[in-house]
Structure 1
Amino acid sequence: MHLKAVLDNLYASRSPQHLANDPLSFCHRYRTAEDREIAGLIASSFAYGNVKIILRTLNGVFDRLGPSPRRFVERFEPAAGRRLFAGFKHRFNDGLDLCALLLAARTMLEEADGIGQFFLTGYDPAAGDITDALAIFSAGALAFDYRPVFGDGGIPADSYFPFFFPSPASGSACKRLCMYLRWMVRPADGIDLGLWHEISPAKLIIPVDAHIQRICRHLGLTARRQADWRMAREITAALRQLDPADPVKYDFPLCHLGISEGCDGTIRPLCRSCPVVKFCAVTKR
């Protein structure tokens, strides 16, 4: 069996249990595209670190946003937000960072009536992928006026808020933004949401986290060692050979080999039942 057939079978084997163990699950709490778009930006922004801590953090945030994240953001006032999220902490991001993120989302709604529409202002359908569009999106988000959150000086030099909006221009893998784009752009398939129809799934770049970095190296999809934008594009190019129209469809099932199935890159009993074991370099050492 070729790798494409194995990965297609892996894609078909995704389960509700995998989704429940993923930040994307928070988007599925809401029915409307408008709520899901806002929920996706928030959920993806805090999708770093241990998955149990991520899910706990997001539960706390969404409990405070109420039944409609879109309505909450449209009405968001930084002064009230600072009080509401005064004790918030997720690793190195704090309540001010969260308030600035909510203000960024509100500003996008005010300027373009949606995060997707704001992203499209920098998107060129003729471009090979979303590299330039993502750089423009992040630069635009960081250029907003954040004085209502941080004070007259704007974003402090030591703030971790810019961590939410990395750029391919700096070499970053932009894992969380690429994940957000996957959620929004890929066709609705029970996992991803298919909300931004103007962007082709063929233009997406795979989100490279520690699991994708490790597993794709073992599968020979990249020879690079550093999880940067070049690695993300190299892995995507390899997957594009398997599915030119939708290469990033394989991200969720591959990632959950690590997140949900326990693959840690060492030879363990679970390797015997792993669906990609035939192609894995770990078992060939």
Structure 2
Amino acid sequence: MQLKPILEKLYAARSSVHLANDPLSFCHRYQRSEDQEIAGFIAAAFAYGNVKIILKNLEIIFGRIGSSPRAFVEEFEPARGLELFAGFKHRFNDGRDLCALLLACRSMLEEADSIGDYFLGCYDAAADDITPSLIEFTAAILAMDYSPVFGCRTIPGDSYFPFFFPSPASGSACKRLCMYLRWMVRPADGIDLGLWRNVSPAKLVIPVDAHIQRISRFLGLTGRRQADWRMAREITASLRKLDPLDPVKYDFSLCHLGISEGCDGKDRLRCLKCPIAGICSVGAA
């Protein structure tokens, strides 16, 4: 069986049920693109760990942010934020880290009016993909002044704020940042938002989480075992052969085979009705 026709059917089968089970759903709560951009930046940052806990903690964050994430960030005062988010915890990150993230958002808006325009200042349109752009973007954010949150110019060693901004330079797969870029850059299709039109979807690199890592190996999209930047680029290169202009088109669909449909590569009964069973090394075995 050919890979592309099956992935196209999988892409067409995306649903509101899948979206509701995804951090991206928080962007869709807002009508204004300015709010969606900020909501996505926050939601992507905390999109690690168990999906139910992710959604629960994002409900807490956005419940306190209110009706306009953009307005909240524009008016954000770290001292008030530290009070508002006191006691907040999402695995490694706490209320201080969240406030530093909000301060980073405010700083980008003050400098460039939007996160998208700030990213464009780091964007290398001539590069093969977003690797150098992401390296510069994360370095610039980590170099900002966070003393209003931490009380010192440098980020303290007991803060996990840098965890929000890994870099391809260190070999990280940068899953959450790649996911945010997918949300912002890919054309609006009912799932992704297409807000950043000056960044080419052809330059995107697939967000590699445990589901994409596993399913991509089942489909022969990568021979690597470690979920790092090299694997992300290798999977993307395989998908680019199917769609050179939009290589991460199938990311949401493939990922939700695991998140929403329960694919773990072990339950053979699930394989019987899986839409990719005919091309998957597990389902076809």
Residue number in structure 2 paired with 1:187: 187
Residue number in structure 1 paired with 2:241: 241
Post-superposition Cα deviations, 1:46-78, rounded to whole Å, max 9, x if no partner, equal: 000000000000000000001000000000000
1-side partners of 2:52 and 2:152: how far apart?
36
2-side partners of 1:33 and 1:199: how far apart?
16
Residue number in structure 2 paired with 1:163: 163
Residue number in structure 1 paired with 2:283: 283
CA contact (8 A) 1:26 1:40 kept: yes
CA contact (8 A) 1:267 1:283 kept: no
Residue number in structure 2 paired with 1:97: 97
Residues 104-253 of structure 1: pairs in structure 2 closer than 5 A: 104-253=104-253
Residues 67-82 of structure 1: pairs in structure 2 closer than 5 A: 67-82=67-82
CA contact (8 A) 1:27 1:36 kept: yes
Post-superposition offset of 1:280? 1.1
2-side partners of 1:94 and 1:114: how far apart?
25
Post-superposition offset of 1:248? 0.3
AA partner of residue 46 (structure 1): F
2-side partners of 1:55 and 1:31: how far apart?
20
Runs of 4+ in 1 over 3 A off after TM superposition: none
2-side partners of 1:244 and 1:273: how far apart?
30
Does residue 52 of structure 1 match 2:52? yes
CA contact (8 A) 2:145 2:153 kept: no
Post-superposition offset of 1:87? 1.0
CA contact (8 A) 1:267 1:282 kept: no
Post-superposition offset of 1:158? 2.9
Please identify, of 181-190 and 265-274, the stretch whose mean Cα deviation from structure 2 is larger.
265-274
Residue number in structure 2 paired with 1:260: 260
Residue number in structure 1 paired with 2:23: 23
1-side partners of 2:266 and 2:199: how far apart?
38
Residue number in structure 1 paired with 2:10: 10
1:123 to 1:153, Cα distance in 2 relative to 1, 3 A: closer
1-side partners of 2:95 and 2:125: how far apart?
37
Q: Secondary structure at the match of 1:96?
A: helix
1-side partners of 2:159 and 2:103: how far apart?
15
Post-superposition offset of 1:159? 1.5
2-side partners of 1:153 and 1:244: how far apart?
43
Please identify, of 147-156 and 137-146, the stretch whose mean Cα deviation from structure 2 is larger.
147-156
Aligned length: 285
2-side partners of 1:192 and 1:87: how far apart?
32
AA partner of residue 69 (structure 2): P
2-side partners of 1:193 and 1:284: how far apart?
35
Q: Secondary structure at the match of 2:248?
A: helix
CA contact (8 A) 1:44 1:180 kept: yes
Q: Secondary structure at the match of 2:83?
A: helix
AA partner of residue 195 (structure 2): L
Give the TM-score of the pair, scaled to structure 2: 0.99
AA partner of residue 94 (structure 1): D
Report the RMSD for the aligned CA atoms in angstroms. Answer: 0.8
Does residue 34 of structure 1 match 2:34? yes
Post-superposition Cα deviations, 1:197-253, rounded to whole Å, max 9, x if no partner, equal: 001101000000000000000110000000000000000000000111101010000
2-side partners of 1:203 and 1:148: how far apart?
35
CA contact (8 A) 2:272 2:283 kept: no
| Percentage identity across paired residues of the two chains | 73
Unaligned segments of structure 1, at least 5 residues: none
Post-superposition offset of 1:153? 4.7
1-side partners of 2:284 and 2:12: how far apart?
26
1:284 to 1:13, Cα distance in 2 relative to 1, 3 A: closer
CA contact (8 A) 2:212 2:255 kept: yes
2-side partners of 1:101 and 1:259: how far apart?
26
Post-superposition offset of 1:284? 4.5
2-side partners of 1:153 and 1:106: how far apart?
17
Q: Secondary structure at the match of 1:234?
A: helix
Post-superposition Cα deviations, 1:126-180, rounded to whole Å, max 9, x if no partner, equal: 1110000001000000010000000125311232000111100000000000000
